Amino acid sequence: MKNIDIKILFLRLTLGALFLSIGINKINDGWLNSTDDLSSSLNDYSETATGFQKQYLDIVAHPYVSLWAKLIAIGEAAIGASLLLGLLARFSSAIGLFMVINLHAANGNLYSLKFFQSPWAALVVACFFALFLTRSGRTFGLDYYLAKSSAKSLFW
């Protein structure tokens, strides 16, 4: 095993544990049955929203808050479990990247340099992108076995 494989494995497991923990906390906090937390955050973002952020909130976020609350909680937990198992890690990395970008579209950071000033935003995006490019699930993950049957698949 190469040194880079160990580093990517560590990155995958760390990000997987983080997202599994965040997702489970949201599920335990009732995100599957209540939109209170997400609605509150979206309302706070709306107070200062302008331009693309306001359009995003008005067209994408607010009208579907009930759906988003469920998808966010389940999605974060599923991404975490997927990365920990190394199962469909490439696909999960792409979904995680999409989720993080959507969060920052909602809070407005995506449309300014604030995105790079946040200690989490750019770092998590870079981590998901690295996991996607390196096909991280093939190192001590179940994707290794899936790749044996179809090495050229986009999912692993």
Query: Average pLDDT for residues 59-70, to the nearest whole number?
Result: 97
- Range name among 65-69, 80-84, 151-155 with the lowest pLDDT average: 151-155
pLDDT band at 151 (very low <50, low <70, confident <90, very high): confident
Distances (CA, A) of 77 to 46, 58, 81, 102: 27, 27, 6, 17
Distances (CA, A) of 62 to 74, 85, 99: 19, 34, 16
In the chain, % helix, strand, coil (3-state, to 5) comes to 80, 0, 20
pLDDT tens digits for 1-55? Answer: 788 899 999 999 999 999 999 999 999 999 999 999 999 999 999 999 999 999 9
pLDDT band at 57 (very low <50, low <70, confident <90, very high): very high
Q: What pLDDT, on a 0 to 100 scale, did the predictor assign at position 22?
A: 97
